[in-house]
Chains A and B, each alone.
Chain A
Amino acid sequence: EVQLLGSGGGLVQPGGSLRLSCAASGFTFINYAMSWARQAPGKGLEWVSTLSGGGETTYYADSVKGRFTISRDNSKNILYLQMNSLRAEDTAVYYCARTASTLFSSFDYWGQGTLVTVSS
């Protein structure tokens, strides 16, 4: 059974940093690209970033480019999202999700989400 368990969310001040983690199990992790998406309170879904299975290729939404870094440890089956220079508008539930390819495939499994609140 595919499982994605996100963690690392919390309250952080504007300008601060936070690292999210997503522990994967139930599938061959290196064979899949992985993504982060977010959902601000009461709002819709927004794609944030995608990383290829081997970790060579990254994609970012313009809203986070230069501030967020996606990475993975294929020996531990963990996906990360390092978030720096956080802004109030980054407040959201962050979901990790599995994808079959890097750009065009669906997100076929989602984690339960972890809440990030950026506030002073």
Chain B
Amino acid sequence: QSVLTQPPSVSGAPGQRVTISCTGSSSNIGATYDVHWYQQLPGAAPKLLIYDNSNRPSGVPDRFSGSKSGTSASLAITGLQSEDEADYYCQSYDSSLSARVFGGGTKLTVL
């Protein structure tokens, strides 16, 4: 059971918009610790997608955006493309555990 809760899977057609939620608690996201998002393509290492809640590293398309409110965060992907099919993970810090924590991951399927 992950400290940060993500839906196991989401799907959308090419060109559509999807969102992936990441729900935490008062000891992590709700305690104002930043949320980061990673994309893991099949068979590859994770790649940083969004850092500090809503910032994109250089090279990440602006189709990807992040937001945070209260004890939750969200990743939005617009203009879905087949190459977006991957696993997505949120990550933050938990003060009760004194540990960096990941969500369980969400598998995105592009229909």
Tell which of B33, B47, B102 touches A45, judged by Cβ atoms closer than 8 Å: B102
Tell which of A61, A107, A110 touches B99, judged by Cβ atoms closer than 8 Å: A61
User: A110 touching B47 by the CB < 8 A rule?
Assistant: yes
Tell which of B47, B52, B105 touches A44, judged by Cβ atoms closer than 8 Å: B105
| A30 and B47 alpha carbons, distance in the complex (Å) | 22
Q: Which residue of B lies closest to A99 (CB)?
A: B100
User: A95 touching B45 by the CB < 8 A rule?
Assistant: yes
User: B48 touching A47 by the CB < 8 A rule?
Assistant: no
Chain A residues, CB < 8 A from B34: 104-106
- Which of B33, B38, B98, B100 counts the most chain A CB atoms within 10 A? B100
| A62 and B99 alpha carbons, distance in the complex (Å) | 9
Chain A residues, CB < 8 A from B54: none
User: A106 touching B51 by the CB < 8 A rule?
Assistant: yes
A117 on the B face (CB < 8 A): no
Contact A46/B91 with A104-B33, A107-B48, A108-B57 known, Cβ cut-off 8 Å: no
- Which of B33, B38, B97 counts the most chain A CB atoms within 10 A? B38
A84 vs chain B, min Cβ distance (A):
20
Q: Which residue of A lies closest to B52 (CB)?
A: A106
| A110 and B89 alpha carbons, distance in the complex (Å) | 14
Chain A 71-109, CB within 8 Å of chain B: the 1/0 string?
Answer: 000000000000000000000000100000001111111
| A74 and B100 alpha carbons, distance in the complex (Å) | 24
**New A-B contacts (6) at CB < 8 Å, excluding given A106-B91, A109-B48:** A44-B105, A47-B91, A47-B101, A95-B46, A107-B48, A110-B48
